[in-house]
Amino acid sequence: MARSRWLGTVSDMKILAVDLGGTHATCALIEEKRILESETVSLPESASLADALKVIAPPLSRMHSQGMADAIGFGFCGLVDSRHTRIASTNGKYIDAVSLDLSEWARTSFNLPLRLENDARLALLGECYCGAAQGETDVVMFTLGTGIGGVAMIDGQLLRGKHEQAGVLGGHAPVTLTGRRCTCGGIGCAESEASGWALPLVAKSWLGFSASSLASRKIDFENLFSCASAGDAVAGELVKHCLQVWGAAAVSAIHAFDPELLVYGGGVMRSADAILPFLQEYVASNAWTPWGTVRVRAAQLGNEAALLGVVPLFATEAPLVR
Ligand SMILES: [Zn+2]
């Protein structure tokens, strides 16, 4: 089983983990399943990746000098060519990233080897290593937040594909032919119908929205679920719309990747009690899985998943060479 391969090969390693998002980066020192210490730093809005590296270098240096790390595992919020330790594409931010050599940066700055992976793939690795997907080999993870992230593992291996896109575009599965234009260029993606950035657009164009209690509040998922549970009819209709969108995306992912487990993370899962039972029922009723029923489960590790995911990142690849 994949997990047993991970254990035993990394037991003596200390790894510096970096989870680089759009506005913040978290640096941590990891030993097996423990985060020995971590520090989150803010990144300037206009930061290039070169600028971001200058911001994260001091905390990494401090942790390295205290903990004597063996390697750096770097999670990045874009398309990553992990086999060549290269950032393949970014979405608007960090446009210098594709031309930067992070391995060289790690060698020069810390005298350490570096491995690079997409942050969503690292989050799934973390959940498989010590979270909601322990012992699982065939998993799809969705992250419901500002956007909708996706990642797939088949037979214990992260799906990557020829162009590093395989499995990570589940949020851009079309769920309606007459929907909104998405940031990806498509129409009616799950993300453009039921994500944090799309929700205000969807809500404001909903019939009867001006009479909804949501109209006088910030339109986010927390307020949406709150208004719906208080009996607001429009909020209830919007919740049903979002649940059906996520359900359709789940069925698409099941038919594409043949998982046995769906894991859901992201800020929207603060309302997990209103989401997971619906998705479990939707999947049971709508996915064609004659072998049984795909299970639906909440992620367990939150923001720590991508940090802990660096451990199997090192154990599942070729032997580490300094
Ligand atoms: Zn899209």
Interval 127-161: pLDDT, tens: 999 999 999 999 999 999 989 999 999 999 999 99
122 within 8 A of 139, measured Cβ to Cβ:
no
Q: Residue 164 — very low, low, confident or very high, per pLDDT cuts 50/70/90?
A: confident
CA of 198 to the centre of ligand 1 (A): 11
* Predicted pLDDT at 163: 87
pLDDT digits (tens, 9 = 90+) for 54-109: 999 999 999 999 879 999 999 998 889 998 999 998 877 898 999 999 999 999 99
pLDDT digits (tens, 9 = 90+) for 9-30: 566 799 999 999 888 999 999 9
* Predicted pLDDT at 286: 98
Angle, CA of 311, 315 and 317, to the nearest 5°: 120
For 175-199, what is the mean pLDDT? 94
Sign of CA dihedral 227, 232, 238, 244: positive
Q: Residue 6 — very low, low, confident or very high, per pLDDT cuts 50/70/90?
A: very low
Answer yes or no: is pLDDT of 1 > 70: no
d(CA 235, CA 252): 26
Angle, CA of 243, 138 and 125, to the nearest 5°: 90
Q: Which residues contact 162 (CB under 8 A, 6 or more apart)?
A: none
C-alpha separations of 117 from 6, 49, 114, 164, 279 in Å: 17, 15, 10, 10, 29
For 36-41, what is the mean pLDDT? 96
For 184-195, what is the mean pLDDT? 95
CA of 96 to the centre of ligand 1 (A): 24
Answer yes or no: is pLDDT of 4 > 70: no
CA of 188 to the centre of ligand 1 (A): 7
Answer yes or no: is pLDDT of 8 > 70: no
CA of 60 to the centre of ligand 1 (A): 35
d(CA 131, CA 173): 26
Answer yes or no: is pLDDT of 33 > 80: yes
CA of 256 to the centre of ligand 1 (A): 17
CA of 193 to the centre of ligand 1 (A): 9
Q: Residue 194: how many CA atoms within 13 Å on its side-chain side?
A: 26
225 strand-pairing partners: none
Question: Coil, strand, or helix at residue 165?
Answer: coil
DSSP annotation of 210 reads G
Q: Which residues contact 308 (CB under 8 A, 6 or more apart)?
A: 17, 30, 33, 35, 126, 129, 130, 131, 301
* Predicted pLDDT at 315: 80
115 strand-pairing partners: 73
Give CA torsion, residues 294, 171, 195, 119, to 10 deg.
90
Answer yes or no: is pLDDT of 176 > 50: yes
CA of 239 to the centre of ligand 1 (A): 20
- Element at 297 (helix H, strand E): strand 295-298
* Predicted pLDDT at 106: 97
* Predicted pLDDT at 44: 83
CA of 92 to the centre of ligand 1 (A): 15
Six-digit token pair at 288?
């064609």
d(CA 204, CA 279): 25
Q: Residue 239 — very low, low, confident or very high, per pLDDT cuts 50/70/90?
A: very high
DSSP conformation letters of 227-282: HHHTT-HHHHHHHHHHHHHHHHHHHHHHHHH--SEEEEESGGGGGHHHHHHHHHHH
Question: Coil, strand, or helix at residue 56?
Answer: helix
- Residue reference for tokens 């060479």: 321
Share of the chain above pLDDT 90, in %: 81
Answer yes or no: is pLDDT of 270 > 60: yes
CA of 201 to the centre of ligand 1 (A): 15
CA of 172 to the centre of ligand 1 (A): 4
pLDDT digits (tens, 9 = 90+) for 107-118: 999 999 999 999
- The pTM assigned to this predicted structure is 0.89
CA of 314 to the centre of ligand 1 (A): 31
* Predicted pLDDT at 169: 87
Angle, CA of 302, 308 and 313, to the nearest 5°: 130
CA of 149 to the centre of ligand 1 (A): 11
Average pLDDT, the chain: 92
